[in-house]
């Protein structure tokens, strides 16, 4: 088991080196060291210290991205991050694209999490899209509550040809990967990658990690203490 990516957003700036970096178009805001104390619904140890704030006012990009480089894709990936959604425009039917993983061979995402407004803002839900056959399919749509912290996890295991989506440690959907699915993950993005509206949307993301063999699970209080000490000392873990 190897954690290949660990971005806790501690201190000033990013902990990891995001090779592509930020893409923040006019009218939008991406703040990688926003104080979690200012996030309604955030709780320790999920969102603690600082987090990534994504505030969009239009359909333009507002994200940070990383590329492992040609030939360096990861065969098996377990994603983990904490998420609080503050605002979703009531006109939105496909907002955010909060996280995606992109394979080596195509531009079609391996996995994509989006947040949506339904029934003119009466309901909100997560939609998990999975590339299980060479193209994206929506496999799970679940209601969520604004200003509430969620632990989001996703497995894309090409060795055993399996995928699974979890929310707060509970399996929400799972299935098999066909013979035509992508075979690795080379890139990942966090933020607002696409929207279908021009209304305001605001989300907070923290403790984004990727492992190549197993679920990372909830962040522990012990690890949180290490992050806080590291932030105080001005270093990196």
Which residue segments constitute the domains of the chain, with CATH numbers given?
3-233 (2.60.120.200)
Q: Which long-range contacts (CB under 8 A, 24 or more apart) does 108-114 make?
A: 108/134, 108/135, 108/136, 108/182, 109/136, 110/77, 110/156, 110/182, 110/185, 111/79, 111/154, 111/156, 111/163, 112/136, 113/152, 113/154
pLDDT at 97: 64
Q: How confident is the model at residue 236 (pLDDT cuts 50, 70, 90)?
A: very low
pLDDT tens sequence across 114-170: 887 766 666 777 888 888 888 888 776 788 899 999 999 999 999 999 999 999 999
pLDDT at 92: 54
pLDDT tens sequence across 191-204: 886 555 556 788 99
Q: How confident is the model at residue 226 (pLDDT cuts 50, 70, 90)?
A: low
pLDDT at 232: 44
Is the model's pLDDT at 76 over the cut of 50?
yes
pLDDT at 196: 56
pLDDT tens sequence across 156-185: 999 999 999 999 999 999 999 988 889 899
**Pick the residue with more confidence: 53 or 107?**
53
């Amino acid at each position: 088991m190897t954690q290949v990516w660990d971005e806790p957003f501690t201190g000033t700036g990013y902990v990891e080196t995001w090779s592509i970096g930020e893409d923040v178009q006019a009218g939008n805001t991406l703040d990688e060291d926003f104080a979690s104390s200012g996030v309604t619904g955030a709780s320790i140890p999920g969102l603690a210290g600082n987090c990534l704030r994504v505030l969009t006012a239009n359909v333009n990009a507002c994200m940070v991205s990383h590329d492992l480089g040609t030939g360096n894709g990861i065969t098996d990936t377990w994603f983990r991050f904490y998420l609080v959604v503050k605002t979703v425009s009531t006109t939105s039917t496909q907002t955010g694209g909060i996280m995606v993983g992109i394979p080596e061979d195509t531009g079609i995402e391996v996995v994509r999490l989006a947040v949506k407004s339904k029934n003119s803002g009466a309901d909100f839900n997560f939609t998990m899209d999975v590339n299980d056959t060479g193209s994206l399919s929506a496999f799970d749509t679940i209601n969520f509550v604004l200003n509430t912290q969620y632990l989001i996890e996703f497995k894309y295991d090409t060795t055993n040809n399996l995928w699974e989506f979890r929310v707060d440690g509970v399996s929400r959907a799972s299935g098999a990967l066909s013979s035509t699915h992508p075979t690795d993950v080379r890139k990942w993005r966090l933020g607002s990658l696409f929207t279908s509206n021009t209304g305001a949307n605001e989300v907070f993301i923290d403790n984004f990690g990727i492992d190549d063999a197993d679920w990372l699970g909830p962040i522990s209080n012990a690890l949180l203490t290490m992050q806080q000490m590291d932030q105080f000392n001005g270093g990196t873990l």
